[in-house]
Amino acid sequence: MTQLHTTRAGRRGLGAAVAAAGLLAALLAAGPAAATPDPGDAPAGAATSAELAADTRAAIAGGEIPGVDEVVHSRNVQHVAHLPKGALGGTNSDLAFQGRYAFAGNYDGFTIYDIRNPRSPRTVAEVLCPGSQNDISVSGDLLFLSTDSSRSDDSCSSTSQPATEKSSWEGMKIFDISDKRNPKYVAAVETACGSHTHTLVPERRNVYVYVSSYSPNAAFPDCRPPHDGISVIKVPRKAPQRAEVVAFPVLFPGDGPDGGGNPGGPTNPGVSKTTGCHDITVLPSKDLAAGACMGDGILFDIEDPENPRVIDQVQDNVNFAFWHSATFNQRANKVVFTDELGGGGGATCNAEIGPNRGADGIYDIKGRGDHRKLVFRSYFKIDRHQADTENCVAHNGSLIPVKGRDIMVQAWYQGGVSVWDFTDSARPREIGYFERGPLSDTARVVGGSWSAYYYNGHIYSNDMAKGLDVLRIDDRRTAPAKRVRMDELNVQTQPDYFDYFD
């Protein structure tokens, strides 16, 4: 069993490595578009820049955290490869996979990588198409891209335009990727309040797209309250140009101005008011979905994909600020929800914030059918305290497919990548990690791993600022996963891994 030492100095001695240097890439003129911020109460009483710098430098000097850009990892994790950002200079976001390719979102567009040799990934194509946050998925010959910033039109040459203008556009873009070197933009669908994230529910002839968006405003013609549901887009595979919104199911019915979700403050101080969903994970093999919806976590039935039905709804008004994402275990009797305290820009992985805020919440699913309930069991948060110059909080991750165990890899922004076991949902524990030291020891600079996913034997991390990292975990607990090989993976469209086990 790999031993993870309890001191930062011990960890650095185990796995210190020098980050690979990359050639500086020429940046495109177009800058990243502004995204809808993720709400959540950032830590109060922020220190001054001078105090942040002094505290961070002292922690580095004392061996409590790695040095600026220093790479550290546990013994059982190896840093296999790093590919710096290319021409797209915006913030890197989510990842999707198909065959030998990885597809990486970026606020300026998306990149296609050839990962046939994980030790030497290559850039196949870079597509300039600004429209934060460019959440990304693939299905067959189609690629889906979310636009969550108000644009002048639906083209890839659009410019920022106020959401108060009726002519502004936000929503879903669809590309034909049958030729990976030459993706073609084929369709666009406008959705209410844009598309912060999206989730595919694929069928043989059609792909349904669940669009998550939030933060309506009476001044926005296409994003007015109440915004208490999700947009459902139907995309014919053979005629994607006919894609259209076919439903807007209300997930939070109620009499209030924002529906029946969490009212947030002042009723529940420090908790986001629910005005839509942030992210949804579907388990098509079980006709089940879990929604992370700002102030609420929900479980719902998707047997009829155009008319999902909520089965259970939970809140955590003590430790959760912003329900961000969800992951089922393989048996579909647990859900891991993440809390993005501080919206992803806060330094929430320090001793002052503690172990339960900005963490994962693990819920068991009890009962059957429409009587299933989400039952809270425990929290999980990385115990490696980060500097106050480092943004760090629970973010995107995926299962590592091991039969009989519940193991997950997860991004924590500048907290790095964590591999952890929640087979015992009341006592989760970390079994491996990878991280870099702070981007800066003088000021808070946002960066780190946005998404960390396991695909066909390796872990792929899309670092917001640095580029693509490829990791390998060598551990007896995760070793069986190396035999699982998939043709396609969109993490929010969770596969039934039992179909892939021997």
Mean pLDDT of each 10-residue bin along the chain, 502 residues long: 32 30 26 42 57 88 94 98 97 98 98 98 98 96 98 97 97 98 98 98 97 97 96 98 98 87 95 97 98 98 97 98 98 98 95 96 98 98 95 98 98 98 98 97 94 98 98 98 97 96 82
DSSP state of 158: -
Question: Which pLDDT score, from 0 to 100, does residue 256 have?
Answer: 79
Question: Which pLDDT score, from 0 to 100, does residue 265 have?
Answer: 94
DSSP helix/strand/coil, 94: strand
Is CATH 2.130.10.10 what the domain over 8-499 is classified as, yes or no?
Answer: yes
Question: Which pLDDT score, from 0 to 100, does residue 255 have?
Answer: 81
H or E element at residue 55:
helix 49-61
- List strand residue ranges (DSSP E) for 129-222, in order: 133-139, 142-151, 169-176, 184-190, 197-202, 206-212
Question: Which pLDDT score, from 0 to 100, does residue 315 have?
Answer: 98
Question: Which pLDDT score, from 0 to 100, does residue 24 have?
Answer: 23
Question: Which pLDDT score, from 0 to 100, does residue 37 have?
Answer: 47
Structure tokens at 161: 């335009």
Question: Which pLDDT score, from 0 to 100, does residue 51 have?
Answer: 84
The contacts of residue 162 (CB under 8 Å, 6+ apart) are 150, 168
DSSP string, 234-284: EEETT-GGG-EEEE--BSS--SSTTTTS---TTTSTTS---SS-SEEEEEG
Query: Are the beta carbons of 393 and 344 closer than 8 angstroms?
Result: yes
Question: Which pLDDT score, from 0 to 100, does residue 257 have?
Answer: 80
Question: Which pLDDT score, from 0 to 100, does residue 38 have?
Answer: 55
DSSP state of 370: G
**What are residue 9's phi and psi, to 5 degrees?**
-60, -40
Phi/psi zone of residue 332: left (φ > 0), alpha (ψ -120 to 50 degrees), beta?
Answer: left
H or E element at residue 53:
helix 49-61
DSSP state of 490: B
The contacts of residue 408 (CB under 8 Å, 6+ apart) are 327, 336, 397, 398, 399, 400, 419, 420, 421, 422
- List strand residue ranges (DSSP E) for 43-181, in order: 71-73, 77-84, 92-98, 101-106, 109-114, 122-128, 133-139, 142-151, 169-176
Query: Are the beta carbons of 289 and 277 closer than 8 angstroms?
Result: no
DSSP helix/strand/coil, 153: coil
**What are residue 400's phi and psi, to 5 degrees?**
-100, 115
The domain ranges of the chain are 8-499
State the pairing for strand pair 296-301/309-314: antiparallel
Structure tokens at 94: 């989510």
Structure tokens at 3: 């031993």
Sign of CA dihedral 162, 168, 171, 172: negative
The contacts of residue 143 (CB under 8 Å, 6+ apart) are 96, 103, 110, 136, 137, 174, 175, 176, 177, 183
Question: Which pLDDT score, from 0 to 100, does residue 431 have?
Answer: 98
The contacts of residue 220 (CB under 8 Å, 6+ apart) are 163, 164, 193
Shortest CA distance to 419 belongs to which of 74, 17, 65, 64? 74
The contacts of residue 306 (CB under 8 Å, 6+ apart) are 208, 232, 234, 246, 247, 249
